[in-house]
């Protein structure tokens, strides 16, 4: 069972690099739709949080924690390092056991938007992808 999760996690991390390649070859379109990509990025992060909140809807604390995370993300997402956000998404991948594939799809699309928006900093994308894979794989294998 862990093999399938790890393969899916690696594919999700490759969404960053797919977005980077799309942004590299479609610079004009990314420049024109930059505001829409930011909006899509926020919407996909919200979807990721709501998937985990739905899975743990019986536990009231998860709902409040999810609401707090969304609040903090919307007000401080420019100040928070992208690597930290991807490490958090890796932890979400561990938490969403029953809804792992819908969450992985949303995280893959989030990676495509993030990769196409961060064309200038390739090292940040590599570090973000590595943080996502390391956190998710360690949590899945250890717990």
Domain tally for the chain? 1
pLDDT at site 108 = 97
pLDDT digits (tens, 9 = 90+) for 28-69: 999 999 999 999 999 999 999 999 999 998 888 888 998 999
pLDDT, tens digit (0-9, with 9 covering 90-100), for 79-125: 888 999 999 999 999 888 889 999 999 999 999 999 999 988 899 99
For the segment 22-27, the average pLDDT, to the nearest whole number, is 94
Domain range for 17: 2-142
Q: Angle 82-95/2-25 helices, nearest 10 degrees?
A: 150
The model carries a pTM of 0.94
What secondary structure does DSSP assign to the chain, as a single string?
Answer: -HHHHHHHHHHHHHHHHHHHHHHHH-HHHHHHTHHHHHHHHHHHHHHHHHHHHHHTTTSHHHHHHHHHHHHHHHHHTTTS-HHHHHHHHHHHHHH-STTHHHHHHHHHHHHHHHHHH--S-HHHHHHHHHHHHHHHHHHHHH-
């Amino acid at each position: 069972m862990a093999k399938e999760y790890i393969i899916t996690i690696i594919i999700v991390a490759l969404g960053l690099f797919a977005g980077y390649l799309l942004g590299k070859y479609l610079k004009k379109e990314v420049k024109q739709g930059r505001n829409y990509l930011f909006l899509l990025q926020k919407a996909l992060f919200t979807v990721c949080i709501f998937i985990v909140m739905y899975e743990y809807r019986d536990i009231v604390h998860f709902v409040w924690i999810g609401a707090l995370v969304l609040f903090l993300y919307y007000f401080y997402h420019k100040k928070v390092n992208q690597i930290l956000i991807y490490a958090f998404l890796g932890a979400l991948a561990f938490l969403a056991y029953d809804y792992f594939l819908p969450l992985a799809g949303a995280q893959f699309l989030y990676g495509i938007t993030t990769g196409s928006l961060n064309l200038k900093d390739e090292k940040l994308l590599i570090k973000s992808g590595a943080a996502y894979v390391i956190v998710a794989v360690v949590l899945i294998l250890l717990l």
